[in-house]
Structure 1
Amino acid sequence: MAAMDEDERVLGECSPAEIAAYLRDIGDEESAVRLERQAARPQGQGLGAYFGRDQYLYKGLVVGFVPSDVSSRGVIRDANAIEPETDLKGRRVKITLDQFFVQAYPGNGTHRILCEFAGQNQIADDTEELKFTLMVEAADGQPTGVVGKPIFMGLTIGDDGLNFRGQTVNVGNDTDDLILDALNGEAFKGGLTLATTLQPALKPFVGLATSVVKATIKRSRNKPVFKFDVGLDFNARNLSARLRRGSYVVVQCNDEEWDWSRFEFATETRRVIRKSDGRSLELNYFVIGIDDFAGEPAKPATKSRNRQRPSG
C-alpha cells in the first residue's frame, strides 16, 4: 500500500508545530499559542488537555444506532450490538445526511467545511464506486443547516452489507473559486440518484468529486479534519456494526471507553444529548439515515426487523 500523502493527513495526525502553523495561517493565534504551551509541558507528550477544548484533533470514532420508530427522546444503541435486518440484502435504499453537529473546528467565526461521502452500489456481479460532496457552514457549538440531505438515492445493498466512508476538510481559503464553482453546479445540488443498471456517466461524476476534494486539500489553508470508514453488515456474530433501517450516529472522539447509555437522541433536533443535564454532546458528529428508497416494493417484515439485541 502506498504511503499517505502528507496533504491527506487529518489535522490530529500532524505534529504540534504543524498544527500551530496551520492555525496561525487561518488566523487562529489564540489556539496556536494554547497548543504550543500544552505541547511544551514536560509531563506529557500528548495533547489531551488541548483536545478537551478543540475536539477537531480527535482521531477516533464510535458509531451508535437510533431506530426509525423512536419517540421524541430515543435510546442510542451501540451499532455493534444490534440485530441486522437481513431483508435489506439486494434492496435499494436511500442514504441521507440528517445532521452534522460542529462542536469545534479550526479557525474563528463561521467554519466552511467540505464533506465527502463514498460507498459502492452493488449491481448484478459488478459494483459502482460512489462519491458525493457538499459544502456546509456552521459556528462552534452549532449544527450545519443540513437536515435530511440526500447523499445516495437508490443504492443497492449487497449480500455483504454496506461500506460507507466519509471525510471532512476545513476550508480556510476565503477565495477558493474553484471549489465554490464546482459545488454550485447542478451535479452537486442534489443527492446521487442511482439506477438498477451500470451508469457510464457515473465515473466522470465520481472523478469530478474526487478532483474537487483533492484540489481543496492541496490549498495551504485547507486541511482534512476527520475521516471515517464504517462497515455495516449482516453478521450478528462478529464485532462489526450491523445494518438496519434507522439513523447511525458517527462521533469523532478519542480512544477512551465509550458508554452510549449516558446519552439519548432528540428526534426533533436530531441532536445527541446527555441524560444527566440535557446538554448537547460536546463533540463533532454526523447523523446518517438509512431507509427504503421510494418506489421500491415492500417486503414482508422479518422477525429480525423488530427485534433488538440488548446492548451489553
Structure 2
Amino acid sequence: MFSLFRDIKVIGEYKDPEIAVKLKQMKDPEVFGGAEADITLEGKRGGLIEDWFNPPWKYASHKFGYIAPQKSDFNQPQIIQYTGAVKPDRTLRNARINIRLDRLHIEKYPGGGTHNVLVTFAARNQIAETQESVSFSQTYRVNEGQSAGIVGYPIFIGLNVGSQGVAFECSTVNVKNEEDQAILSALESSPFKSGLKLLTTAQPAIAPFTEITLGVVKLMAQRYENVAVQKFYLGLDFDQAALGASLVEGNYIAVQADDEINWSEWVYKPDMGAIVKKEDDSATLSYNYVIFRVSRYEE
C-alpha cells in the first residue's frame, strides 16, 4: 500500500545546501538572525550544518511507542511500550474505530517563534471489498517548545477496519507564507472542526474531498517560506510481529527521531500530563512528536 504523502519532501530529506536556502527563506532567527545576505554552509560559523546545530526537525524518520488506557490508579505513572510489543485486540478486526489527536508537541521547527502548523491525517476506510482513501486537515498555532492546546481532537469517527488492520498516516507543514496563512484560516471554520465522520457504505463525496485536501497540503509544502517537517506511515495490524505495530485501543506516540528510543526509560505521568524520564521527572521528551488515540466506535 503506497503512501498518500509520498510526493511530500520533509526538510529532513533535504541536502545541506537546500536546508540553507529554506532556512534563509523562512528567516530562521537562530540560524541566520533574519539576515538577508547570502549565506553558505561554509560561512562564519564554520563547517557543515550538522557541525554546529542539531535541531529536532532534521530527522526524516519516526520512532513509535504505545500507552495503554488507564484502568485503575489514575495517578500512577504509565509505562510506554514499543508498538510491536503490544498484544493486538483482534475484536477490532472488521470493526469501527475513532482516531483522535491528543498531543501535538513542537520542540523546535524551522523559522522559530509561533508556528502555524498544517496537520494532515490520512487512512484507508474499508468498505465491503474495497478501500477508500480518506484525509482530514487542521491547522494549529503552537509556540516553540510547547504543545498545541488540544486534547481529544476528532480526526476520523467510525473508521472501518479491514480484516488485516488499518493504515494511518500523518504529515505536518510549517506555514510562514502570509498568503497561505489566510487560506489556512478556512480550516478553522466550524465545518472542519468535527473530524471526518465515516459510514459503513461508500460516500461519493469522500474521494474529491480527499483529493482537494491532499492537493492543498502538497501545494503548501512546496511554497516559498513554507516547509514540510514531519511525515510518518503506521500500519496497525493483528500479527503481533516484533518489528510491527499492533492495533489496540490506547495512545500511539510518533516521535521525530533518528536514534532508537528506549521506552523502558520513559513513563507517562498523569499528574503532570507529560512524558518524562522514569528516574527524573524534570526531563521531558525533547522531540517533535504527535500522540493520537484509538478507541472503539460506538453508535
TM-score, normalised to structure 2, is 0.88
Given the superposition, is the C-alpha separation of residues 147 and 212 from structure 1 closer, same or farther in structure 2, using an over 3 Å criterion?
same
Q: Which residue of 2 aligns with 1:8?
A: 8
Given the superposition, is the C-alpha separation of residues 130 and 35 from structure 1 closer, same or farther in structure 2, using an over 3 Å criterion?
farther
Secondary structure in 2 matching 1:28: coil
Structure 2 residue 215 is the aligned partner of structure 1 residue 211: yes
Matches within 5 A, 1:163-242: 163-176=167-180, 179-242=183-246
Query: What is the CA deviation profile of residues 240-269 of structure 1, one whole-angstrom value per residue up to 9, with x for unaligned ones?
Result: 111110000110001x23210111113355
Q: Is the 8 A contact 1:80 1:241 kept in 2?
A: yes
Deviation (angstroms), 1:179: 2.5
Structure 2 residue 97 is the aligned partner of structure 1 residue 90: no
5+ unaligned residues in a row in structure 2: which ranges? 34-38
Q: Is the 8 A contact 1:35 1:50 kept in 2?
A: no
Q: CA RMSD in A?
A: 2.6
Query: What is the CA deviation profile of residues 87-122 of structure 1, one whole-angstrom value per residue up to 9, with x for unaligned ones?
Result: 000111100000011111111210111111100111
Cα distance between partner residues in 2 of 1:69 and 1:90: 25
Structure 2 residue 287 is the aligned partner of structure 1 residue 286: no
Given the superposition, is the C-alpha separation of residues 140 and 35 from structure 1 closer, same or farther in structure 2, using an over 3 Å criterion?
farther
Q: Which residue of 1 aligns with 2:134?
A: 130
Given the superposition, is the C-alpha separation of residues 96 and 133 from structure 1 closer, same or farther in structure 2, using an over 3 Å criterion?
same
Q: Which residue of 2 aligns with 1:305?
A: none
Cα distance between partner residues in 2 of 1:247 and 1:60: 19
Structure 2 residue 266 is the aligned partner of structure 1 residue 263: yes
Deviation (angstroms), 1:36: 3.2
Residue 142 of structure 1 is aligned with which of 142, 146, 160?
146
Given the superposition, is the C-alpha separation of residues 205 and 138 from structure 1 closer, same or farther in structure 2, using an over 3 Å criterion?
same
Q: Is the 8 A contact 2:16 2:49 kept in 1?
A: no
Q: Which residue of 2 aligns with 1:299?
A: none
Cα distance between partner residues in 2 of 1:35 and 1:271: 39
Query: What is the CA deviation profile of residues 198-246 of structure 1, one whole-angstrom value per residue up to 9, with x for unaligned ones?
Result: 1111112112211221221231111111110011100024521111100
| 2:164 aligned partner, one-letter code | D
Q: Is the 8 A contact 2:116 2:181 kept in 1?
A: no
Cα distance between partner residues in 2 of 1:218 and 1:107: 15
Query: What is the CA deviation profile of residues 134-168 of structure 1, one whole-angstrom value per residue up to 9, with x for unaligned ones?
Result: 10111111001221100000011111111111111
Given the superposition, is the C-alpha separation of residues 6 and 205 from structure 1 closer, same or farther in structure 2, using an over 3 Å criterion?
closer
User: Matched residue pairs, number?
Assistant: 287
Cα distance between partner residues in 2 of 1:25 and 1:227: 21
Residue 151 of structure 1 is aligned with which of 144, 150, 155?
155
Q: Which residue of 2 aligns with 1:21?
A: 21
Deviation (angstroms), 1:40: 4.8
| 1:273 aligned partner, one-letter code | V
Q: Is the 8 A contact 2:175 2:181 kept in 1?
A: no
| 1:206 aligned partner, one-letter code | T
269-278 vs 5-14, which deviates more? 5-14
275-284 vs 242-251, which deviates more? 275-284
Cα distance between partner residues in 1 of 2:235 and 2:108: 26
Given the superposition, is the C-alpha separation of residues 235 and 48 from structure 1 closer, same or farther in structure 2, using an over 3 Å criterion?
farther
Q: Is the 8 A contact 1:7 1:223 kept in 2?
A: no
Cα distance between partner residues in 1 of 2:212 and 2:241: 39
Q: After TM superposition, where is structure 1 displaced by more than 6 Å over at least 4 residues in a row?
A: 4-7
Cα distance between partner residues in 2 of 1:136 and 1:124: 35
Residue 75 of structure 1 is aligned with which of 63, 79, 83?
79
Given the superposition, is the C-alpha separation of residues 48 and 134 from structure 1 closer, same or farther in structure 2, using an over 3 Å criterion?
farther
Deviation (angstroms), 1:186: 4.2
Secondary structure in 1 matching 2:121: strand
Cα distance between partner residues in 2 of 1:136 and 1:149: 11
Given the superposition, is the C-alpha separation of residues 20 and 103 from structure 1 closer, same or farther in structure 2, using an over 3 Å criterion?
same
